[in-house]
Amino acid sequence: MHILVLGGAGMVGRKFIERLARDGGLGGKPVTRVTAQDVVAASAPPAAPFAFDTVVSDISLPGEAEKLIASRPELIVHLAAVVSGEAEADFDKGYRINLDGSRYLFEAIRQAGDGYKPRVVFTSSVAVFGAPFHDKIEDEFFTTPLTSYGTQKAIGELLLCDYSRRGFFDGVGIRLPTICVRPGKPNKAASGFFSNIIREPLNGEEAVLPVSDQVRHWHASPRSAVGFLIHAATMDTAKIGPRRALTMPGYSCTVAEQIETLRKVAGENVVKRIKREIDPVIDGIVAGWPRNFNPQRALALGFKAEANFEEIVRVHIEDELQGTFVK
């Protein structure tokens, strides 16, 4: 099996490829080749049992998608995107990458013809939903985003459903919760502080909390995100029906509950490294995001995530900190 990962140098893409290298196969089939595309070169996973190629390119450039699918990968995992805060700050860039890049990819697959029908896993976001919200957002809730990023992802979902309905490819859209705790350095995502206030204190560094600690949000770990991708890549899509976009399971909690969990797991000295400095821009963006979900379709189809925020913190300590942290 040949797998193309768009956005393969990003955190989720890297972890997905590393999981493929450990498993050696996907859905009972051996993985023979992985191509990782991104705007920077992706690193090869250690001891990969498959051929690994890296492509440095911009998927929003005309003709680039055609080059990427020329070898006809059986699975395409589309992670490439401009994140929420950057998409809001740079309107043109957000639409060029998040919308045009996806549309060019879908159209390149359609034009390939000759029976080529790959599985396409498209990563969307809970940002496709906008206020006012129910206490828990059901699968039938309207997609009425209140950010440019959410709008771009919602349009991508519609395209994915239509191209799948027409038989051009076999698509699955997964609306990711905020992935927490993200390893590495802070990025431009407006949601980045949810990870920052856990990751930096555990590393002995100060973190800034830019919103009220009463902000509630929907979370899942990087480990769960990889599990979502694997399940979406291998599941029986006949069970999904025409609505190909699914809200992924997660755990809803307030920032105060996040901090209390950090206190329970790591102690008061770690929590003291969090500094409160309200940022009106981030506070405004987050105010329009959904807070809690009832993702029955995804759960019934076999998607799984953590049952509480303590699990999420402990996954980070285990996967990224070798089981220890700075007290």
Residues tagged active-site: 149
Whether the CB-CB separation of 181 and 310 falls below 8 Å is answered with no
Per the listing, tokens 């990003």 go with: 10
The CA distance from 165 to 241, in Å, is 9
CA angle 263, 221, 35 (to 5 degrees): 145
Q: How many residues does the chain have?
A: 327
Whether the CB-CB separation of 75 and 121 falls below 8 Å is answered with yes
Whether the CB-CB separation of 12 and 222 falls below 8 Å is answered with yes
Distance of CA 164 to the CA centre of its chain: 21
Please return the burial class of 33, using the count of CB atoms within 10 Å of its CB with bins 0-12, 13-18 and 19+. middle
The CA distance from 161 to 166, in Å, is 9
Q: Hey, how many other C-beta atoms are within 10 angstroms of the C-beta on 2?
A: 18
| 6 contacts: CB under 8 Å, gap ≥ 6 | 13, 37, 38, 59, 68, 76, 77, 78, 79, 80, 105
Per the listing, tokens 């493929």 go with: 20
